[in-house]
Amino acid sequence: MIDVGEVTSAVVPFVSAAVGAYGTAVVQRVVDQAGDATAEAGLGVGRRVLRRLFRSGRGQQIEEAVADLGTAPDDEDLTDLVRAQVRAALARDPELAAEIAAMLPGGPGVTITNSSGVQVGEHNVQTNHFGA
């Protein structure tokens, strides 16, 4: 079963990246089917996720929340509104939640606690040795 909270938390940074890049034009840029050849990978994920969310049962509410966030991309209250709308859409439709989760890079996440360092980037290799 998909954890809606986890998927929502994973989706919002991609949505925020798209909003940050496109600003008030975010809805039009997402709805536009033409890909942005210069878009970084995260931006492409954000566009695909939003495009799918806009077609969901809560699409209108998500679109409005994203448009509002486009006017003030750093507004935490507006980000929370987008998060709440995405979460509501995913909670309402388990198939949508699974579809959105499959769009996210990296598959299932790993929770790291009490870490003294974090590896960042793509295609990195980390080897851990436990025990004596």
**What is the pTM (predicted TM-score) of this model?**
0.72
- Can you give the three-state secondary structure of 58-85, one letter per residue? CHHHHHHHHHHHHHCCCCHHHHHHHHHH
Query: Is the separation of the CB atoms in 47 and 18 below 8 Å?
Result: yes
Could you give phi then psi for residue 112, rounded to 5 degrees? -115, 125
- pLDDT tens-digit series, residues 25-37: 888 877 775 555 4
- pLDDT tens-digit series, residues 53-80: 999 999 999 999 999 999 999 999 999 9
Query: Is the separation of the CB atoms in 79 and 8 below 8 Å?
Result: no
